Structure 1
Amino acid sequence: MKMGKGIPLSDQDRIPWLCNLHDILLRDVSSGQHVVLACSALKKMYRDILIRGKDGAALKHEESGEKERLAEVQLLVVHLRGSFEVISGRLLKRKGHFMPPELLQSQFETLEPPAAPENFIQVSVDSSLSEVIATVMETLKMKSESFLISGPQQN
């Protein structure tokens, strides 16, 4: 595994994995399940793939000129926002994780925080775990959607 060796993943490494996650999300959401996916979907393109699959965007319908809708997953992106120092400190305390703390800088460099028109909320990692959960749950009460946790991860 590249990350275990301290090598950042490329788009080519991530895209097939993201497509598989889209298919799993679509299957589970279509069957009526509520889904939580925790992953570092650092780029908008990655989040688009999670929503729309490998094409990442609606296709143009050739005959009518209308946009054909691909099978989409409705996501609420929960962007866990925190400073490099805070997240780095937490990573250094983590034992037995596949991602070495040395890769955190590459994740910050890759990160494209969610922005409009994406469906997202930002939650500070400086908040307590119970505050983070309360914020997410309150948002979910207002929006009954599946959601994705994005951004540099910490435990």
Structure 2
Amino acid sequence: MTYLGEIHSRLLDHRPIIQGETRYFVKEFEEKRGLREVRVLENLKNVIQETNEQILPKCTETMQDYLSQTLQRLQAASHLVYKLQQKEQEQRKLNNQHLLISEKQRITQWEDFMTEQHNKQAAVDEEHRKATERLKEQYAEMEKDLAKFSSF
């Protein structure tokens, strides 16, 4: 049994090794690094305290100033864009009205043109009819004259 106990303690009982490592770590940390680590931690504490008390308020104040200025500029730009949109809408309305008026004028001009063309066509047709009538009469008279001369 003692032999089995020794095997067990060597293979499975790690307490002596862990205790030795723990003592070495504590000795290393407390004796060799103790003051250096405390100084590093103290410096970190001072930097964090300075940051919280001085730098952070300055940054917050500066940020709020710039944000305020930026907000004012954005509001001014938004107002200008709104004015431009209104002007553009007014211009579109004017253009649409002008286009409607122009379209009505063109329709009226087109109707007048078509009426004039119809009247001219009627006049030309009438003139053509009259010229045709005259030619028929002239040819009828010529045939009568031709018939007179041929009967001789």
TM-score (norm 2): 0.16
Q: Where is the strand percentage greater, Structure 1 or Structure 2?
A: 1
Q: Which has the larger radius of gyration?
A: 2
The two structures have a TM-score, normalised by structure 1, of 0.16
**More relative contact order in 1 or in 2 (CA 8 Å, sep 6+)?**
1
**Which has more helix, going by share of residues?**
2
